[in-house]
Structure 1
Amino acid sequence: MPAIELGNEKSHSKISPHSSKAISESESLSYPPGFGPIQIMDQDTHKNVETMGYSLSCKSKEEQQKTLRTQKINRSSNGSKLEDGPAQIRKEGATDLRLASGDSERRCMYEQEEETHSTQPFWEGLASEDEILQSRTERLARKLRKKGKKIKRKTIIVAKELQCKQRIQKKPTSQRENEQSKQDLVNKATVDMRKKRSERQVAEEMRAIRQRLGLVEENDTEETIRRLMEMERRDRINIAQQELKKKTDGEEKGKRKLWEELLCLIKEYGGGCWCMGGDFNTVRGTDERKGRSYDATEAREFNKFIVEAGLEDIPMAGRKYTWYKSDGSAMSRDLKQWNKEIYGNIDKNIEAAREVIKTIDEKGETTDLTELEVEQRKEGSHHLWEWLKAKDSLLCQKSRQKWIKEGDANSKFFHGCVIKKRRQNGIDGLTINGEWIEDAGAVKHFIKEFFRRKFEEEQWNRPGLELNNLRRLSIEENAMLIATFSEEEIREAVMEARALLLANRMRCVMKSIINPNQSAFIEGRQIVDGIITTNELIHETKKRRRPTLIFKADFEKAYDSVNWEFLDVMLDKLGFCLLWRTWIQECLASASVSILVNGSPTEEFQMTKGLRQGDPLAPFLFLVVAEALNGLINKAVEEGLLEAATVGSGVVQISHLQFTDDTLIFCKASPDNAWAIKCIFRSFELISGLKVNFFKSSLSGIHVNDEDLSAMADMLNCMVGTIPFKYLGVPVGANSRKVSTWSPIVECLRKRLSSWRCETLSFGGRIILLNAVLSSIPVYYFSTLKGPKKVINLLSLIQRRFLWGGCEKKNKIAWVGWDHVCRTKNEGGLGVKNLGTFNLALLGKWRWRLLEEKEALWRRVVEAKYKVNRKNVWLGDKWDAECSGWWKDIWQLDVGLRGREGWFRKGVKKVVGEGNDTLFWYDRWLGEYPLKDKFNRLFRLSMKKDAIISDMGEWRNGEWCWHWSWRRNLFAWENALLQELKVMLQVRQLQQGQTDHWVWQHDSKRKYSVKSAYKILQDNLIPGKICNFKLIWNKW
């Protein structure tokens, strides 16, 4: 029987026709973008018989019925025809094409509004961007002319900025909804199609993508498919188990739901004998409960479950009821009697045991002990040890009651008990092969074998990797790595370790080979870079209304799963020479592992995979492995498999960010991109051994409806995430102006204070805790976000109350103003940090990095988004209304501060070498202000406003000569300004062979430091000394 194939070039769904009236193929056919014709295929010969098409235009009900009746195709193969009976209009404004074969039916429905009666296809009626821009500009111009205003260029700019939004708004409602409806149908069909595929179909579909990503498979295609099938099966089982747990432990906890889930579990994993035990909190009849109302429905459902599950209720032995009006009072008396008779007085028992041991030892000093006496001493030592443990346990219980009652958990005794208990924690026994084993030797052997298998490579035959987009080491860098070790390095190696020596050398070359998207362990890159980049990207997509997916990956045991063979392959691809790779392999293979079980180490065994955490080489080696993931993602973007998110006008593409194994993927919202993400991580797992736990991973969406997001998350077998979410410990996508964003910091401070009792701490002890702990907790947040004034005041209030001996609900008198307390000791204060000032000093580092780091990813994002360049890098007191809150805070960092106006600009200066990187008029390199401000008249007359210093003259006979270029001849008073400028230029001479660089004038190292910036801000806030420190504070 022939089949009708509906679809586009990528995917088709086959439908068997029910009957056979024909449609004329002479009719003019039109298809929407992304849709192809409907093909009739003969299932017996698998050949195309005829080709027909449907005009998916927005026609009325009558026109659609007329089209279906008039279009006919004469079948030449078996004479079957497509009747117009089953194909009919089901409701007003919708075309419902039903083609049946036997009892099966398939429908393809295209929704449209009732008021749409146009016969022209909707995709042909859309205006182009140029037409929309021209129309909007003309409309604005007409409005301005009516009001008697001149047309400014701003009109054109507004039209350009809003053309994307206006294009959507200018479409008729029905056309826009039809277009979105069709796209939703395609997305939903794609997701459903992939969700219903078998494990082998999923593995087979990944093959083409793996080949395009550069994976080489040599005669192991079937083995690779088998591994992919195991991965898919593992994820599906994990999802099923987690969903079952959520349903059982979630909101639907009713007994009826529990019985249903247990029955499903028995049917799915049935076979063999079952034993089910536990407290079901229900009874089977009235004779099993006394003193409480009997629920007949509940008992009936419980009995029904037992019958359907095929279970047998084992009869009870002993008393009739397991619990009867028990309040614990009788048990308490029995326990007291038992404690008195069995244990007695612990201290007396300890003294008795010691006395026995002492007596035997004294006798042993003079004569030989008999075997009985030796056995008595061993028994006495054993009893002494048991009684001492019992006493420690008793003291620990009593002290814990006291800590709970009084809230004092910061004493020396407390910490001592915690350390002792941690040391005493042991494993008494384990269930091994279904049998409980308490033998120490067997337990140690089982634990050793368990971890040995964990660090043993299971897959030795992994696919290869061909990536041409990886960075490689140069010949000079390789020579530096394997150069002869100096005396200083040899001394360092002897005193420390070979791995540390290699790590110090490797650190020098990592920046040249690791992708900028990785921000861990690389000089000049910081953990906060990824946080800021993610925040700016989320803000951009929200403002531009771009549908975007953010996938947060969670790797399982990342360091412990690294494949050594793959690590060597990556070192080779990154250009490391053979000698260096041999050294690395020797460092890895020399490692042996021993498991500490109950304080006793097991036998050592060798590792065949994984990196040792704590090894100085491990972070850099892991970055080498993670670089393969960077290469795969970049390759997917180049091949068009993954559409990366963009910032600005598409200048900067951001497909992913990494900090070691903390990975975020950014892409446009579509099922194809979601599928590409899964293929990338599956491919990475095949070659490297690093596995992503998709169930713990999350997929978040921006401007993506919940249904589509949930469907794509199901396809990935991951959770549906929300925005904001935590990344590297900071909520990204959150509004920093809201107090709720800072609630983790406030709660952390309160939790820390709840374990300290101010009454038991001296004034000096409170100051130390205040400076060492409480002031350092908000530092991480303050490094990326500016705290609202309400949050700063709240945190300062908590600190003040703690300093003066108060608590959350109890306030005490503050005898000295908080501003005075925050001064340095030399100025009469206590050295406590002013949190508001400290926040500004930390944010000032971003302004410094904006000047210094020209190639950093976050800097390129800011440049593309806010059009930052060398001329406006100093920013000002005005900003774009659509910029993010973080950028506004950075922009006005030194603006509007009482007594601290322009503190950052005054502290930064450009030191000129050859003048190749310094703007003559804009940069502050000569005097306290830029030359364009001091000599504004000359700046406006200059024809080289944007010139760098090296373009303003030339070297002649070893001397620098300035060249001036003016728009006209200078007046006399302007010549006087020029002479003044020349006098200033004579003071500063250019230096050949030297580079230009920025300096921070308030630090001895000439680099920006938070400490120096904080001091400048505090000095400007409260200038001058208050009083001598000892005179004020020695009485406290």
Structure 2
Amino acid sequence: MPSKRYLVKDFLQLHHADICCIQESKLSLIDPSTWRSIGGSRLDHFSFVPAIGSAGGIIVGWSGNLFVGHETHRGIYSLSIKFSNRTNNLTWVCTTVYGPCDRHRKPSFCNEIGDCHPGIDIPWVICGDFNSIFDPLDKNNGNYNREDVIIAKDLLRDLQLLEPPSFGKKFTWTNGQANPIWARLDHFLVNSNWMAWCLADNFTNLIRDWWNISPFQGCGAFILAKKITSFRARLKHWAKFEFGSIKLKKLALLHDLEKLEVEHESRSLSEDECYLEASKRAEYGRILKQEEVYWKQRARVTWLKEGDENTKFFHAVANGRRNRNFIPWIGSGDTRVADFRGIGDMFTSFYKNLFGSTQRHRHQINWNILFLSKVHPNLSSLDVPFTHAEIKAAVFSMSVDKAPRPDGFPMFFFQKFWDVVQEDIFTLCEDFYWGRANLERINWANIALISKKLNPDDPSHYRLISLINSSLKIISKLLANRLSLVIKDLIDSSQSAFIKGRCIVDFAKAFDTVDWDFLFELLEARGFGERWVGWIKSILVSSKAKFLINGKECGYVRYHRGLRQGDLLSPLFFVLVVDVLSTLFNNALNSGVLHGVMLGDSGIKMCHLQYADDLLIMMTGGGEDLRIIKLILYFFEGLSGLQVNSEKSCLFSSSRNSVPLPYLARTLHCCTSSLPLTYLGIPISGNRPRRQDWDTLISKISSRLAVWKSKFLSLGGRLTLLNSVLSAIPTYWMLIFKLPCWVIKRIDKIRRDFLWSGLDPQQPKIRLVSWTRLCRSKDQGGWGFLNLNTFNMWRQMVVEDFV
């Protein structure tokens, strides 16, 4: 016996155990000296169930420095200790069991375990030697008693216990024969409160332990990548067990609640039953919360928060998104392929040729002459060291609900567990600043393919969205935050896209052909320091991606040119790139080479307006202007790699006089059109918008509701959607036009109907509060809806330059 004590003591010291549970001690009396010979000085507190003769016996020991523990239940087969963690005051119960071998004593064993139940709101661990298997796979020869398994499963179900996955050896007992029988008789069970993920107080400690379990050496980027890989494996194993049982837990809770409700119909429930019912409803609510957060992440609806039981809505949006983005085939005719590998090969081949190959710019330019009239702001502030406060602000300013990245960790993880990961993020950013970070391990992206047209059959018919690892995105966010402070001083006033404080429009095309050498030269010419340009080079040259085809990764491409949609720096760099084109036009206009167009009686002459990669060029009908414009466009193409999309370019005349449009269009290799036309979603013509133009706006609002399956939304969800989306669509038009009264009334009717009934024709449209009152601010008793009647007038009064 003493030799076994030494073995146990050595094992506990080797693993720095804080709590130990021992079964079959065979000790009928244990004094402090005896326990010290087993648990050592670290485990200075203990409690025990004496053995009966030389059979049985249970001991639980713990560290008094870490836990306050007291015995709550002692039985023939079990010992329960209620612990309170000294570090965070978390209270939980540990029950250690030693189950009987005799089948006729197992019912009394199960009854005793039921008596140990601490209550549904208290985390509970029950572990030890059950002398029973819970599953046929718990025995190696398939020879088991079916009744024992049924009793064990009933115990788990009745007490709502879960068995987390274990590591190491699968079996815990053997008969030691030549052809041994192996069985798993020892089990570790927990209740749902113990396993509740981020909603549980102890989950952060679990995350911290997993995050720091393995030390790594290297630069900050390498250490972070290795930690994420190791941590992801542990978390994935745990999550498979925890969330895989959500449906079963929901069904069990609903079944129990239904039984209580049936009992309540025939009699009054006891105080304990009322408490049990309330506890089960609370637990059911927590499960619904977890489920809703999951489906919200799947749906990625950024304008609607979880809550108000919008799970059905998120479920419908997620499934709708999956159906819309599904790629059944690619190609046409004899070249059509429908298998996963074939589709992936076609996308990989196409985009490797597009941005996976180098193409140096053909033309050179004198940057000093080009930017002679430009103001050169002081950019030294871009190169100062990153502060901890700046890094934290960058992390917490990013959206938490974006699509998952290749490493599987959205920004929510870094924000939620900032105290755990912050030192690794600080090290990464410091190494990046000093040029020590090797970004090859973290600069990965998954490319999501979004169809740009109905029934696409070619890789070019898809828009690429790069889902970049969050760790790399933190670095991009730091640089983007700094660049956004000076970008206004670097670009022409006709550039409006992506710049805060100007009318923002969305871009429709990827920036796949921007030449990197051109970009680096441009940054140096605009006054960016050597350190900043080096940072950008390290990000671009280490960028790699895989394609997501119907939810699966395939293919591989390394970038050699282009800017990735999804990188926070890309829109700002693209604006700098196309500002070169704007400068070329302005220099030609100011030197008299281009004549431009006079805007009414304002005295303002313009030749172009630029919104990201959408360009509106204005010229007189003369052929000389046309030749100069064509020359500038071709020169810019050879300079930057950006090519005019002839298929989507058109030429139109605002004059009633005869203009040789076909001839001019052939010169520019584009098609012709006529007014009115739609530019950036807005009707453009020489007159005020027609009634059918306003009908287009109204139809756009109505169709948006149908797409978003509003019937699934609660009142709270509809309120959020109304404020964030339905008011934004007409607001965009009101940046240009003053809406007629009849249009405002139509839009307000749609908004009212949607608020009160979700546009479900079977729901009554009873207005409980007047619309005027709802448009008041919240501090005045309203709900803060946008008043369309006053917004457009305010916009025209406060904005001097409406162009």
Shorter-chain TM band: 0.3 to 0.5
Q: Which of the two has higher C-alpha Rg?
A: 1
If the length of structure 1 is used for normalisation, what is the TM-score?
Answer: 0.37
